[in-house]
Amino acid sequence: MTHFISGWDIGGAHLKVARCDRQGNIINVVQVACPLWHGIEQLELAITKVFKQLDNQHDITAITMTGELVDIFPDRQAGVAGILHCLVNAIDVDKLQVYAGDLGWLKPEQAITQWQSIASRNWQASADIAAHYCSEGLFVDIGSTTCDIIPLFNSQAQPQAFDDLARQTKRELLYTGAIRTPLIALSQTAPFNGELVSLAAEVFATTGDVWCLLDQLDADSIQDNSADNQAWQDTDCARRLARLLGTDSVHSDLAQWRQLAQWFAEQQVHLICNALLQVNSAHQTISDNTPIIAAGVGRFIAKQCARRLHRPYVDINDLLVSTNGNVADNLPAVAVALLAQQDLP
């Protein structure tokens, strides 16, 4: 018997891997950069880095993914197949199990055929784990790029939809995250010096700049590139915000750029609160006093939303009884590892 299970969440920007033992104890959680839009070799390099860090190439390997969406693939079906072929070249196929939601666990050749149940299902693994520990509430996972909102009721996840198109329609999937979202996606204007300024329709600055300036993100821990590929320190973030306004940060003090960052933060919190209200409106059985259960590197945003909506806030780390922040930051990888530990012989 293989003594360890590794859960892999293969995204378009990162590869996240969580390792647990047969008793479900999380041993390690790592994240490595994997800009998959630059080519499948980026995934190959990321796999090598994970093996070097964890020495886990002989573990039972449970897979979930969202990386099939990147534009090196002509469509999502080809993306699922391309990613799985890459994995088969690196890991013994007998040890590979692919998470397929309600279909359970599939071998790679089955998963390629059933690709609709494989593509972008990492949220479902996370929601299933959250429901295991919390019988009722709204599960919110805010990552670097997206926000998932899944109702929980009777200890089960209760999504209205499963594919991305339908999930975006129901607003259970929002393309807004704590690091990579262009600020121009939040608003076309912003207040500055008492005036409402039109913003440049360019990716000059992102939400990572906002939350770094507001001391909610640690600049040294971010693996994503900034909009100009420079650092995430306060002066860098202010410089990028200024570009959106067609000016330079040196013309105003840092306090003013933090004030602008706070305005953008309010727009994002408002956007997510509105989505939470819409999702909740479709589930009248969920009480208004049930908690928001939050995961992801941007869960501090979910905490602000809980405060606005007068709901209790629960960090997924508290449910999993973990002091390792990497568990909550990388929940889909942790979730597939734990589900595999529960389901697989």
Domain residue spans of the chain: 4-122+322-343, 183-269
pTM of the model: 0.95
Q: Which two tokens stand for residue 136?
A: 């009722």
Task: Look at residue 324 and tell me whether its pLDDT is greater than 80.
Answer: no
Across the chain, mean pLDDT equals 95
Q: Under a CB-based contact definition with an 8 Å cutoff, are residues 325 and 317 in contact?
A: yes
pLDDT at 344 over 90: no
CATH architecture for the domain at 4-122+322-343: 2-Layer Sandwich (3.30)
Please indicate whether the domains covering 4-122+322-343 and 183-269 agree at the CATH topology level. Answer: yes
What pLDDT band is residue 106 in, cutting at 50, 70 and 90? Answer: very high
Helix (H, G, I), strand (E, B), or coil: what is residue 274?
A: helix
Buried b (16+ CB within 10 A) or exposed e, 172-206: bbbebbbbbbebbebbeebebeeeeeebeeebbbb
Give the pairing of strands 147-153 and 156-157: antiparallel
Tokens of 333: 């990888």
Span 183-269 CATH architecture: 2-Layer Sandwich (3.30)
Give tens-digit pLDDT for 151-188: 999 999 999 999 999 999 999 999 999 999 999 999 99
pLDDT at 3: 86
Cα 153 from Cα 132, distance rounded (Å): 11
pLDDT at position 321: 78
Distance, CA of 174 to CA of 168 (rounded, Å): 6
Show contacts of 74-83: CB within 8 Å, 24+ apart.
76/115, 76/119, 76/120, 77/115, 77/119, 79/119, 80/111, 80/112, 80/115, 80/118, 80/119, 81/112, 81/115, 82/40, 83/10, 83/40, 83/43
**How far, CA to CA in Å, does 246 sit from each of 12, 106, 235, 249, 284?**
31, 52, 16, 10, 46
Structure tokens at 92: 């013994």
- How many DSSP H helices and E strands does the chain contain? 12, 14
What confidence score (pLDDT) does residue 339 get? 96
CA 170 to chain CA mean position, Å: 18
pLDDT, one tens digit per residue, over 232-259 is 999 999 999 999 999 999 999 999 999 9
